[in-house]
Structure 1
Amino acid sequence: MGILKVYILAILTGFVTGLITIPYRWMIEKSAYIRDMIFNLNNPLYYLILGFIGIYVIGILISKMVEDSPLITGSGIPQARAQIYGRIKVKNPIKNLVFKFLGGVSGISAGYSLGREGPSVQMGALIGETISQVFKVDRVERKYLIMSGAGAGLSSAFTAPLASAIFIAEELQKYFNSRLTIFSFLGSIVSGYMAAKFFVKNDYLDIVVNYPQNLNYFEYFYICIAFAIFISLVGKSFSFLLIYFQKLNRKIKISKYIKVFFYTLMVIVIGIFYKDLTAGGESFLIREGMVNDLSIGALIFFIILKLLFTTLSYSTGFPGGIFLPLLVIGGLSGKLFGLILLYFNLIDINNLGVFIFLGMASAFVVVVRSPATGIILILEMTWDFTLLPSMVIVAGLAYTVSNLLKVEPIYDLLYKPLIENDDNDEVVELVFEVGSESYLIGEEIGKLELPGDLKIKSIERKGEFIKTNDTTEIEKNDIIGIPTKKRDIEKFYDSLRSLAQEN
């Protein structure tokens, strides 16, 4: 298929993704009104009783959906990466899309501390998969459409097209090339534009950003170092607890009906006393960015509560991400650090907004390990570019400190269960397009020494499969197929892609 047609399909992927993920985001945001009714103790008691029953039934239904379609569990970002790598083949993307939508909306709306972004990314990837099947694109173009859809999903979740396109390269692929960037941007810009037209109000603009005027550059830099250490410890705790509770949940062998009962009880108790912390918790963060009515001790309590609530909610396996709760925890931690500085008269009360946004970006960098995405995401959410120098400094320091603390990228950790104990000898074909800078160009297949003694078994040239033998020379833009055992995909994928130097 011509490249122009594939670009058009990428735009279509972004558009369809926007049509699905924007209502998804809207329904989750509007669900706050339902939680207000359930958790308001001024309402009749039967509201709370019906709410408990409803949340419990929702939990059971989601559990059954996850059992039927295991790919919809959790964030969805690791599954999107597995789609791109070829580790998982989605036989029924429409069914998975519907279940991910319903499971995500109902679980987050019920109050579980989960984010909308991971499911949006996976739904976009599933839409890209569907469009690639409908229009019968080649194997490399399929990967690009999946990436385009994934970027579009994240873009509509946060109205952040630039950060979304960067995230696809920085996190999903961990690789930059021109064509990948173009496809990611096409999907992200289309859905981001749609989201911007639909979600006009940006509450983050109400948080005032004023830099401390009484600090010189050296004092401010020392504060940034201390802040980076503090936020790295928060991020380390988040990553540890997220994985710990997942493993613990798998070890506890009791009926799902009993598990869901305790999950429901957790949501109800937190909802009654601190309903703004339910779901993503964004409203709680924005309120704290505009008012200062909490003591240092109270803020520490809320940070710990949100941290535990989020990691326990994620351990359920219900469809939902960690982006938004993580940003909330980071923002609240930033305010806590600011309040400590305020206590020692190092800053003014009007400077707290700066530390909220620095905390959001830095927490993302520590946990996700994607610094460019974290910085650009907060810039797009706030549209305050005066934050850029400080974010670069603090995020860079936090990235360094988290390296010293050995914080692994969270999506790498969440990807591992997809491949753990997989001794599958099934042979799958890794597919790459030979870029113009690849040293493979002009080389004979039989003389190539590929990692793991792998061999190129198929070549698609100008839309046609050609017969190959050991003397067949590789040309620019060839699509090469390299068979490997399924269990070895991750071992060879990155090195083979680097050899191919995809455009």
Structure 2
Amino acid sequence: MHNGFYYGVAVLVGAVVGVIGAAFHLGVEWLSAAWPAYLSGDLGLTGAPLYLAAALIGASMAVASLFLVRRFAPEAGGSGVPEIEGAMEGLREVRWHRVLPVKFVGGLLALSSGMVLGREGPTIHMGASVAKAAADLTKMTSQDMRGLLAAGGAAGLAAAFNAPLAAVLFVIEETRRQFPYSARTYIGVVLASFFAAVVTQMFTGDIPYMRLAVDTLPLALLPAFAGLGLILGVVGTFFNRTLIWSLDHVRALGQRSSFYLFPLGVGLIVGVLMFALPEATQGGELLAVQLAQEHRTVLALALIVLLRFVMTMASYATGVAGGIFAPILALATTIGLCYGAALEFVLPLPDRMEVVLAIAAMGGLFAATIGAPLVGMVLVMELTGAYTALMPVMLTTITANMVALWLGNRPIYEILLERTLAMEAKARQATRTADPARPPARLDDGAAAGGGIDNTLRG
């Protein structure tokens, strides 16, 4: 295939992903605001009737999202990033014709219900699906297809966060084992990310999604950020291990009773929390900015940290379509603010240092959980526009990553992919044992990789 043709396909993929990503972003923003406004405004509900109606709507949206995943595209559950990495290794298959609609509609319902999930996972998965469709239509070779998958995924991240540079680095750092590096595939990733960001900005503007203004801090305060990185390395390790524990236990619950029981319960809870305690719901990008501009007490921030941690685990374990980038960033922001509020009891801090701590915490927790410190640094810069905080962000991020590695933590997507493949192998063995004459079963288990619900075995 001629380089020019490949680059043209990459540009087209980026532009299409930009349109889909912007539509998904705007759709989630509209629906997540529309149904609460309808209940409290148009219907005028208050008190118990309001909470009951909100619980029913939240539960309905959660169950509907899971139904779409389980019925039409099991691999669309969770974030989808492990599925893409598996496809780039030749271990999974991107069935774009079913992933695209299920990921869009299912993700729209799940995120708008109030679940603590991010839109970046679905957008990355949809981006790779667009790339797979283009590769199929143009009959690309296996290597070119793998490179285009990476380009589509990067375009999805660029569209989700308006962060094209972080998207390119995500491919280089996160998929370094799978990416078929060459000048052509690398340029394709850059082109797709660039044009996805251009199209996204046409719809949503070019202002950073989590814009936060900060001043340059004295270098003498950098040890405080090393301490923050130490804490986040421990938190990130605990986060990953708790997430896997949650997936396993919710899956076991689904096998014993109903696969819809746990999502039903989570939907009921988040529906109520949308009115009772909105800080414990949704992806949290706007919440992170809001909290950074307020001055809440240590106890109030600690409560938000606890609630968002629990709700992130519960939401992701349902197996609906949704990512964890945004919840990680919002959780990190709250931890950084809590750390800053605690420091003020010990020593006086410069004005707005707590905001710098919040920004640095985003990179730190991202590096500790995802295992991509360079992406974490650049993503935080692009999201907040706080380039004067670069030094504190770098120190916090690399310290958190070092601590997580020292504790034996591994990148969460790597763990999730291995979990999916192990479950698939176990399912095939069970099929052979039960009926030796039957073809081996395949576990199309996106929820195994990204959620906790076991899905249908297909022979």
* TM-score for both structures, normalised by structure 2: 0.86
CA change 1:318–1:422 in 2 (3 A) is closer
Q: Is the 8 A contact 2:233 2:402 kept in 1?
A: no
Q: Which residue of 2 aligns with 1:108?
A: 111
Q: Which residue of 1 aligns with 2:435?
A: none
For 2:9 and 2:58, locate their aligned partners in 1 and report how far apart those are by CA, in whole Å: 39
For 2:84 and 2:427, locate their aligned partners in 1 and report how far apart those are by CA, in whole Å: 22
CA offsets 1:93-120 (integer angstroms, 9 cap, x no match):
1221100100001100011110000111
CA change 1:349–1:385 in 2 (3 A) is closer
CA change 1:393–1:56 in 2 (3 A) is closer
Please report the RMSD computed on the Cα atoms of aligned residues, expressed in angstroms.
Answer: 2.4
Q: Which residue of 1 aligns with 2:221?
A: 220
Give the superposition deviation at 1:343.
Answer: 2.1
Q: Which residue of 2 aligns with 1:153?
A: 156
SS of residue paired to 1:346: coil
SS of residue paired to 1:256: coil
CA offsets 1:182-239 (integer angstroms, 9 cap, x no match):
11111100001111222226366653313445xxx4x424222211111112212221
Amino acid paired to 2:320: F
Q: Which residue of 1 aligns with 2:414?
A: 412
Worse-superposed segment, 150-159 or 53-62 = 53-62
Q: Which residue of 1 aligns with 2:391?
A: 389
Q: Which residue of 1 aligns with 2:192?
A: 187
For 1:388 and 1:70, locate their aligned partners in 2 and report how far apart those are by CA, in whole Å: 40
For 2:412 and 2:367, locate their aligned partners in 1 and report how far apart those are by CA, in whole Å: 10
Unaligned runs of 5+ in 2: 429-441, 444-459
SS of residue paired to 1:347: coil
Give the superposition deviation at 1:25.
Answer: 0.9
Q: Which residue of 1 aligns with 2:258?
A: 255
Amino acid paired to 1:347: L
SS of residue paired to 1:317: coil
Q: Which residue of 1 aligns with 2:201?
A: 196
Worse-superposed segment, 20-29 or 57-66 = 57-66
Amino acid paired to 1:192: A
Give the superposition deviation at 1:377.
Answer: 0.6
Structure 2 counterpart of 1:166, from 155, 165, 169: 169
SS of residue paired to 2:352: helix
Structure 2 counterpart of 1:326, from 316, 325, 328: 328
CA change 1:204–1:127 in 2 (3 A) is closer
Structure 1 counterpart of 2:370, from 363, 368, 371: 368
Q: Which residue of 2 aligns with 1:288?
A: 291
Amino acid paired to 1:254: S
For 1:124 and 1:308, locate their aligned partners in 2 and report how far apart those are by CA, in whole Å: 29
CA offsets 1:389-415 (integer angstroms, 9 cap, x no match):
222222111111111122211111111
Q: Is the 8 A contact 1:38 1:51 kept in 2?
A: no
CA change 1:145–1:247 in 2 (3 A) is same
Structure with bigger RCO (C-alpha 8 Å, 6+ apart): 2
Following superposition of structure 1 onto structure 2, how do residues 66-465 of structure 1 map, counting pairs within 5 Å?
66-68=69-71, 69-90=73-94, 92-174=95-177, 177-200=182-205, 202=207, 207-213=212-218, 217=219, 219-252=220-253, 253-292=256-295, 294-423=296-425
Q: Is the 8 A contact 1:169 1:180 kept in 2?
A: no
Within the alignment, does 1:18 sit opposite 2:18 as a pair? yes
Give the superposition deviation at 1:50.
Answer: 3.8
Within the alignment, does 1:60 sit opposite 2:92 as a pair? no
Within the alignment, does 1:29 sit opposite 2:29 as a pair? yes
For 2:425 and 2:158, locate their aligned partners in 1 and report how far apart those are by CA, in whole Å: 36
Give the superposition deviation at 1:48.
Answer: 4.2
For 2:208 and 2:167, locate their aligned partners in 1 and report how far apart those are by CA, in whole Å: 20
SS of residue paired to 1:392: helix
For 1:211 and 1:204, locate their aligned partners in 2 and report how far apart those are by CA, in whole Å: 21
Amino acid paired to 1:227: L
Amino acid paired to 2:21: T
SS of residue paired to 2:409: coil
For 1:378 and 1:281, locate their aligned partners in 2 and report how far apart those are by CA, in whole Å: 14
Q: Is the 8 A contact 1:39 1:271 kept in 2?
A: no
For 2:352 and 2:155, locate their aligned partners in 1 and report how far apart those are by CA, in whole Å: 36
Worse-superposed segment, 64-73 or 125-134 = 64-73
For 2:298 and 2:207, locate their aligned partners in 1 and report how far apart those are by CA, in whole Å: 27
Worse-superposed segment, 6-15 or 169-178 = 169-178
For 1:226 and 1:205, locate their aligned partners in 2 and report how far apart those are by CA, in whole Å: 24
SS of residue paired to 1:416: helix
CA change 1:160–1:225 in 2 (3 A) is same
For 1:21 and 1:129, locate their aligned partners in 2 and report how far apart those are by CA, in whole Å: 16
SS of residue paired to 1:343: coil
Q: Is the 8 A contact 2:225 2:357 kept in 1?
A: no
Q: Is the 8 A contact 1:38 1:48 kept in 2?
A: no
Amino acid paired to 2:75: L
CA offsets 1:51-93 (integer angstroms, 9 cap, x no match):
3333322222222222221110101000111111111223x41
Q: Is the 8 A contact 2:363 2:397 kept in 1?
A: yes
CA change 1:190–1:295 in 2 (3 A) is same
SS of residue paired to 1:420: helix
Amino acid paired to 2:235: V
CA change 1:151–1:204 in 2 (3 A) is closer
Q: Is the 8 A contact 1:37 1:47 kept in 2?
A: no
CA offsets 1:14-64 (integer angstroms, 9 cap, x no match):
111112111001111223322542675993155544433333222222222
For 1:334 and 1:37, locate their aligned partners in 2 and report how far apart those are by CA, in whole Å: 31
CA change 1:250–1:55 in 2 (3 A) is same
Q: Which residue of 2 aligns with 1:6?
A: 6
Q: Is the 8 A contact 1:121 1:154 kept in 2?
A: yes
For 1:425 and 1:304, locate their aligned partners in 2 and report how far apart those are by CA, in whole Å: 36
Amino acid paired to 1:27: G
More helix by share: 2
For 2:186 and 2:426, locate their aligned partners in 1 and report how far apart those are by CA, in whole Å: 33
For 2:379 and 2:129, locate their aligned partners in 1 and report how far apart those are by CA, in whole Å: 23
CA change 1:299–1:20 in 2 (3 A) is same
CA offsets 1:130-161 (integer angstroms, 9 cap, x no match):
01111112221111111111110000000000
% identical equivalent positions: 25
Worse-superposed segment, 281-290 or 53-62 = 53-62
Give the superposition deviation at 1:276.
Answer: 3.7
CA change 1:423–1:288 in 2 (3 A) is closer
